[in-house]
Amino acid sequence: MGGAIAYEGYVSPSGVGFDVGCGNKAVQTDLTRKDLEAVGGVERIMREVTRRISFGMGVPARERVDHPVLGKIRKAPFEPQRRLAGLAESQLGTVGSGNHYVNLMEDEEGRVWVGVHFGSRGFGHKTASGFLALAQGLPFDGRATEGEMDSPPVLFEAGSELGESYISAMQLAGEYAYAGRDVVVDKVLGILSAEPVHEVHNHHNFAFRESHQGRTYWVIRKGCTPARPGQEGFVGATMGDESVILEGVDSSEAEESLFSTVHGAGRIMSRTQAAGRVRRRKRWACGNRDCDRTFESAHHRCPDHPHARTHKVWVDEQLKPGKVDWPAVQSRLRARGIVLVGGGADEAPEAYKRLPDVLDAHAGTIRVKHTLRPLGVAMAGREVYDPYKD
């Protein structure tokens, strides 16, 4: 669910984590639930979302976009980031995998919202990895040894050369993450032929410069949404549960929590417990989106679609069953009218706490403004391999 810690004079790249600037954005549109039928219905909308927006680890954008942040990366103050400009350009507006998503939702009055959750993609990951390597005396592109959960944090003095370089690079990765979420939401609004009415947008993996009780700190939030009094946040639930728009309140409890709240419900079982143990095999799939044939070699051609190119996919061979019955989950979501594209057992509702229970535990620090029922959910499918499902 996340955590926050305040450092006076220090910043922590290990605290911010690999997915620098991961965050949530939600936009209320000028549409109601009934209006969606006029643009083809939820099923067609979500299929178009996954056709135009790329999901998965290391996947380039299907539709390249230009954005001012790309020019900033090409001229980044920290020189190694400039070398990542090509990667940043290729992945701007892509969603990634794991618990990252594009959601279509309706609030208690039937108004349609778009919600997204993802971060700075490969650009942010390589930025974070590079600074963790520098902290171990390695070159920026060296391979750092990853610590354990109880390892001491990696800290840079904020005023040191390395600390200032990290802060600059982190902020640029955060700006890139914001731009990516803006691009994706704008594409969905275009698919809907909708206009934005109100937006809620913030990071939950970031170092924020803030004042608390008369002193200035670097507040590290990892999986943790900023929630100052009156500040809105979008907190996503699972593919089958209601998400919320909330705001921070002015209370002693909120102050003690550094005006922070959760960014999701939090897991109750690991991905392996949920999905079971699998062996991943590399296969090649037919490029026709309506075909599910796979082949042992890239040289094979699909007999049903001989002109379609093949692309590499990862196919799971189940070695040990998990606790989640994934076909049953899919059937249950369909029965509730939720259109799911992608996803897997490791992201099923059963793998997570219930968000209302989590929010109740934070009742003295936040106020729920809207509840958002899922209509459509798009995620990377099970065939996507991602060792950093953050």
Q: What is the pLDDT of residues 168-224, one digit of tens each?
A: 999 999 999 999 999 999 999 999 999 999 999 999 999 999 999 999 999 999 999
pLDDT value, residue 386: 45
- The angle formed by the CA atoms of residues 324, 327 and 328, to the nearest 5 degrees, is 70
Query: Torsions phi, psi of 176, nearest 5?
Result: -65, -40
pLDDT over 50 (residue 1): yes
The answer to whether 175 and 218 are in contact (CB under 8 A) is no
pLDDT at 211: 97
Cβ–Cβ under 8 Å, residues 185 and 179: no
Does the pLDDT of residue 265 top 80, yes or no? yes
Q: What pLDDT shows up at residue 313?
A: 84
Q: How far apart are CA 45 and CA 130, in angstroms?
A: 39
List the single range of 42-46, 268-272, 278-282, 352-356 with lowest mean pLDDT. 278-282
pLDDT of residue 387: 41
- Per-residue confidence (pLDDT) for residue 173, from 0 to 100: 99
pLDDT at position 210 is 98
CA distance linking residue 154 with residue 171, whole number of Å: 18
Query: What is the percentage of the chain residues whose pLDDT exceeds 90?
Result: 82
pTM for this entry: 0.89
Judge contact between 265 and 358, C-beta under 8 A: yes
Mean pLDDT for all residues in the chain: 93
Give the per-residue pLDDT at 381: 82
Task: Mark 165-180 as b/e (b = at least 16 C-beta within 10 Å).
Answer: bbbebbebbbbbbbbb
What pLDDT shows up at residue 6?
98
pLDDT at position 382, please? Answer: 63
Q: How is the chain split into domains, by residue range?
A: 3-269+324-381, 271-322
Give the fold, CATH level 3, of 3-269+324-381: tRNA-splicing ligase RtcB (3.90.1860)
- What distance in Å separates the CA atoms of residue 5 and residue 15, rounded to the nearest whole number? 9
pLDDT in tens, 70-128: 999 999 999 999 999 999 999 999 998 889 999 999 999 999 999 999 999 999 999 99
Distance of CA 296 to the CA centre of its chain: 32
**Confidence band for 383, pLDDT divided at 50, 70 and 90:** low
The predicted-structure confidence for 120-165, as pLDDT tens digits, reads as follows: 999 999 999 999 999 999 999 999 987 777 789 999 999 999 999 9
